[in-house]
Structure 1
């Protein structure tokens, strides 16, 4: 199989088209990259054991896997240099990705304090929100130093609007102008997106002129603040499929890992989004 040889520096950063939102379908099935040209969102660790590589037909972006890393281990176990090597390997074998998220430190209470929530156990980092923010900014600086040519996206973190504002200040003091970045991840809003607090955070960050990516967005979140985002991703289709009848003619137990179901779900979400936010555009490739 011929591998892409284009250098990351040779192409413009893969940001959504002006005036539109790119909606990524989140999946752990990396072979979907060869099956559809719909934008996909995959975790970097899903490529760790890859032997056969599938060249991407369409746009895709890479998640660093930070939530599970901090949830299960309470710290990052993959060194930044290893992460950079992994990103280069993905680029070379799969093709140019839009961007890859940095190794950020989420600020949800469960991540920091630990405990059991909705049946999931969190070990807890036992650190402060401020320390999580400091480590997030420091990681981005290290990754950019190691690989200035790679499309690594910074992430802003916090647990309330003043905390997110503080994170912006940390980036600014470090010499990083987030307004010049093709995309900026908005962390720790996945479970807040459809609430008033979540909407306040998204609105406040968008007011700074940032091209925001919303991690793990669902229908209600998109309806409320999707017009403020440059892009978003969602894996909600899988849990949706797990609790509903499988598609006609499908023989598996349910469609929780089914690309046909995922694509149909995505179409419904985007139709609902366009209906709920009149005048909003979606990128043609989305």
Structure 2
């Protein structure tokens, strides 16, 4: 399993040799982009977008977003894939948009297809959204009905899981979808969850180190900041601890299943 370290600091792309996960919301502000020294994937920042606005209408259009992903691919390099402008299905987001799970799934699928139609060479991945196991399978079926063969996709994202408190629920979703032959990326999966189902996914990402560092004193060797929530030393040390816990190198895209 490949583990993508989340970061709010895009310049890390040119500093580190571990896979990173960076949001378009942070990259879009940069006039001069770093040249990647590591593989990385790009998040659309959908949760923040919908939390604030309740819609993508006040964010980048699909054409604008595709243009930015093209720029990142060409100027930064080493882009593994990019998430679509999806609609996650947490209750807080549903309340913000006023829509239901089925509508969020349809909007997510429509956006993926639109991005692919704008430029089929860009590495956008399909993302499955839902709440229950049945929801996720209905979402997968809808992709298939629209002509998207998820079983041959290099990566299929599983969304709406990072804020769940019940690891067993997420494990059930992941293992069930893996049985369909999908190469899954678990967005923001918790460490305890990864220890249980890492063999059923090809990759995951996490920014949890930054949140944890807000409540801890800085590392003994750190100077110049009161907290390590944007500290590369803290992030890399946390990453190694997580990889030891789940028993992976963090760089492999294969599954044990």
- 1:23 and 1:55 map into 2 onto residues whose CA distance is 20
Contact 2:19/2:251 (<8 A) preserved? no
Alignment of 1:10-159 (within 5 A): 21-76=1-56, 77-113=59-95, 124-159=96-131
Cα distance in 2 for partners of 1:254, 1:182 equals 38
The alignment yields a C-alpha RMSD, in angstroms, of 1.6
8 Å CA contact 1:202, 1:228 repeated in 2: yes
Distance across 2 between alignment mates of 1:125 and 1:99: 27
Does the 8 A contact of 1:194 with 1:221 survive in 2? no
| SS of the residue 1:57 aligns to | coil
1:53 CA drift (Å): 1.9
- Structure 1 gaps, min length 5: 1-20, 114-123, 275-279
C-alpha deviation, 1:195, in angstroms:
2.1
Q: Is the 8 A contact 1:194 1:224 kept in 2?
A: no
Match of 2:164 among 170, 187, 192: 192
Q: Equivalent residues in 2 for 1:152-231 (5 A)?
A: 152-192=124-164, 194-231=166-203
Structure 1: how far apart are the matches of 2:37 and 2:142? 38
Length, aligned pairs only:
251
Alpha-carbon distance in structure 2 between the residues aligned to 1:281 and 1:24: 11
Q: Which runs of 4+ in 1 moved over 4 A?
A: none
Task: Give how far 1:45 is off.
Answer: 2.1
Identify if the C-alpha distance between structure 1 residues 201 and 125 changes in structure 2 by more than 3 Å, giving closer, same or farther. Answer: same
TM-score between both structures, scaled by the size of structure 2: 0.94
C-alpha change, 1:104 and 1:173, in structure 2 (3 Å) is same
Question: Is the 2:42–2:83 Cα contact (8 Å) retained in structure 1?
Answer: yes
